[in-house]
Amino acid sequence: MVITSVTEGADKPLKYPHMFRTADLIVLNKIDLLPYVDFDLDRFADAVRNVNPTAVVHQTSATRGDGVDGWLDWLRARQEVASPVH
């Protein structure tokens, strides 16, 4: 998993391809700041697909709580796969 934010720039997957290539999930945080920063969601999505076409991108705002439940659901599902309850 990689956690990045809109304040870091849409080109981050291209700057650090190995980090993004190995991630199953990319959490894009601080989406509440989108109106205030120069961040292109489409450019970011294209960059992610370029380095890792199978990664899931999940948008969150830790400040407002947007998307956090979905992120936790993803983590719980992964935990169940890794250590199933008998």
**Torsion, CA 49, CA 14, CA 45, CA 77, rounded to 10:** 70
- Res. 86: pLDDT tops 60: no
Segment 7-26, tens digit of pLDDT: 999 999 999 999 999 999 99
Q: Is 2-82 assigned to CATH 3.40.50.300?
A: yes
Q: What is the pTM of this model?
A: 0.88
Q: pLDDT class for 84, splitting at 50, 70, 90? A: low
Low-confidence winner among 5-9, 54-58, 72-76, 78-82 (lowest mean pLDDT): 78-82
Task: Give the start-to-end residue ranges of the domains of the chain.
Answer: 2-82
What's at 5, amino acid-wise?
A: S
AA letter at 38 = D
Instruction: Return the structure tokens found at 57.
Output: 């991108």
